[in-house]
């Protein structure tokens, strides 16, 4: 019996010892960062040591970035302080000078306005104006007296002659002015009709499609034409002075079967063939000339239109327009 009790106690002690060790180990290993106790080296080794190093590296890098931004901000603040200081210095230098200048101008103006010379001058001008008015009033009085003493004022036969004379004079003046305006308008119209107009210009050449206008931009002679830039851009001559016009054109080309037309507005005045129809291999340069006359009104146009695809030789193709 005693032997069994001794065995049981020994077993109980062993279990208690084992249980105590197990609890201790569980308590030691349960918390790696010491939720219930301080952190030791064993806890740190159990965690990922590299993560801590990365965190420390990030903290150092962020610290250096903050230091760099702080240096930049400090530099900008210093620059602003320098500029502000210079502006304040300039302001302090300019403002007193301007104030003194305005003071001097104000003083000089006041001196001129209050000077005795100016006051005397104004008084003298007023006296002269009054004298002039008095003189005019005296002349007017004399004129009235002279009219009253005239025999015409006492002659019954001439009682209504003065209004008639004034009316006649006014009528003659209006008639004369009207005739002058009519003569002026007639003279302007006559001058516009008889205005001399002449133009000679050549083309710079190139390929022109069928139906396109030939532009003559190289002006050689010009007389009595103001809208020459419009002629160069549009390729049309626009009449500014109505009358009879002569149109003369010669165009040089090697394109077989090449033709062009002379136009007044959109009406054909004539059609000219430059080169005959033949094979491309035997082509050579040819010149086709055309002449026409047309009665133009203001804003009528004259132009040259390619009537086939044609290659025109520059400097050898020109136009002449003359008002007859």
Q: Is residue 147 part of a domain?
A: no
What is the domain range of residue 255? 198-323
Length of the chain as a residue count: 324
Checking if the pLDDT of 207 tops 80, the result is yes
The strand order across the sheet containing 236-238 reads 236-238, 301-306, 259-264, 267-273
DSSP character for 216? -
Cα(315)–Cα(310) distance, rounded to whole angstroms? 16
pLDDT computed for residue 53 by the predictor: 79
CB 307 within 8 A of CB 270: no
Q: Is residue 243 part of a domain?
A: yes
**Average pLDDT for residues 135-162, to the nearest whole number?**
63
* Domain CATH number, residue 209: 2.60.120.40
What lies within 8 Å, CB to CB, of 303 at 6+ separation is 213, 214, 235, 236, 237, 263
pLDDT tens track for 221-271 = 999 998 899 999 989 999 999 999 999 999 999 888 899 999 999 999 999
CB 201 within 8 A of CB 235: no
Query: How confident is residue 173, by pLDDT bands cut at 50, 70 and 90?
Result: very low
pLDDT computed for residue 292 by the predictor: 95
pLDDT computed for residue 123 by the predictor: 73
**Average pLDDT for residues 81-109, to the nearest whole number?**
78
314 with 217, same domain: the answer is yes
CB 249 within 8 A of CB 319: yes
Checking if the pLDDT of 24 tops 50, the result is no
206 with 305, same domain: the answer is yes
Q: Is residue 74 part of a domain?
A: yes
Which residue(s) pair with 163 in the sheet? none
Question: Given 90, 111, 132, which residue is the final one in a domain?
Answer: 111
pLDDT computed for residue 198 by the predictor: 94
Checking if the pLDDT of 108 tops 80, the result is no
pLDDT computed for residue 156 by the predictor: 53
- DSSP codes, 97-154: HHHHHHHHHHHHHHHHHT-HHHHHHHHHHHHHHHHHHHHHHHHHHHHHHHHHTSGGGG
Nearest residue to 274 (alpha-carbon basis) of 213, 322, 316: 316
**Chain-wide mean pLDDT for the chain?**
76
- Structural domains counted in the chain: 2
Query: What would you report as the CA-atom Rg of the chain, rounded to the nearest whole angstrom?
Result: 57
Query: How confident is residue 140, by pLDDT bands cut at 50, 70 and 90?
Result: confident
pLDDT computed for residue 12 by the predictor: 55
Lowest-confidence range among 113-122, 126-135, 206-215?
Answer: 113-122
pLDDT computed for residue 27 by the predictor: 44
β-bridge pairing 318-323 and 198-202: antiparallel
Question: Given 87, 111, 135, which residue is the final one in a domain?
Answer: 111
203 with 319, same domain: the answer is yes
- HSE-up of 151 (CA within 13 Å, CB side)? 1
**Average pLDDT for residues 23-52, to the nearest whole number?**
58
**Burial of 312 (C-beta count, 10 Å sphere; 0-12/13-18/19+):** buried
Cα(97)–Cα(78) distance, rounded to whole angstroms? 29
pTM above 0.95, yes or no: no
Q: Is residue 98 part of a domain?
A: yes
Q: Is residue 282 part of a domain?
A: yes
pLDDT computed for residue 305 by the predictor: 95
210 with 107, same domain: the answer is no
Q: Is residue 309 part of a domain?
A: yes
Checking if the pLDDT of 208 tops 50, the result is yes
Q: Is residue 210 part of a domain?
A: yes
Q: Is residue 126 part of a domain?
A: no
Question: Given 111, 126, 160, which residue is the final one in a domain?
Answer: 111
pLDDT computed for residue 19 by the predictor: 45
Cα(286)–Cα(274) distance, rounded to whole angstroms? 6
Place of tokens 């040819």: 286
282 vs 315, residue with greater confidence: 315
107 with 204, same domain: the answer is no
Query: How confident is residue 41, by pLDDT bands cut at 50, 70 and 90?
Result: low
Checking if the pLDDT of 171 tops 80, the result is no
């Amino acid at each position: 019996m005693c032997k069994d009790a001794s065995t049981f106690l020994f077993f109980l002690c062993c279990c208690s010892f084992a249980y105590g060790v197990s609890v201790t180990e569980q308590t030691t290993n349960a918390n790696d960062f010491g939720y219930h106790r301080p952190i030791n080296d064993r806890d740190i080794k159990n965690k990922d040591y590299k993560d801590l190093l990365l965190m420390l590296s990030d903290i150092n890098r962020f610290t250096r970035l903050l230091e760099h931004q702080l240096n930049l901000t400090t530099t900008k603040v210093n620059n602003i302080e320098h500029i502000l200081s210079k502006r304040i210095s300039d302001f302090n230098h300019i403002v007193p000078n301007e104030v003194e200048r305005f003071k001097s101008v104000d003083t000089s103006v006041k001196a001129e306005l209050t000077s005795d010379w100016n006051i005397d001058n104004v008084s003298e001008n007023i006296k002269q104006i009054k004298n002039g008015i008095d003189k005019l009033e005296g002349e007017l009085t004399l004129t009235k007296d002279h009219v009253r003493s005239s025999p015409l004022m006492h002659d019954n036969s001439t009682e209504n002659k003065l209004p008639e004379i004034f009316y006649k004079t006014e009528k003659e003046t209006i008639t004369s002015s009207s005739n002058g305006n009519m003569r002026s308008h007639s003279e302007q119209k006559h001058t516009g009709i008889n205005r001399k107009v002449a133009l000679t210009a050549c083309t710079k050449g190139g390929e022109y499609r069928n139906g396109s206008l030939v532009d003559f931009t190289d002006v050689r002679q010009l007389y009595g034409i103001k809208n020459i830039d419009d002629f160069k851009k549009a390729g049309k001559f626009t009449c500014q002075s109505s009358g009879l016009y002569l149109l003369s054109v010669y165009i040089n080309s090697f394109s077989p079967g090449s033709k062009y037309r002379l136009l007044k507005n959109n009406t054909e005045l004539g059609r000219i063939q430059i080169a005959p129809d033949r094979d491309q291999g035997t082509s050579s340069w040819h010149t086709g000339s055309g002449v026409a006359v047309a009665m133009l009104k203001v804003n009528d146009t004259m132009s040259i239109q390619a009537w086939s695809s044609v290659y025109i030789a520059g400097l050898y193709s020109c136009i002449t327009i003359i008002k007859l």
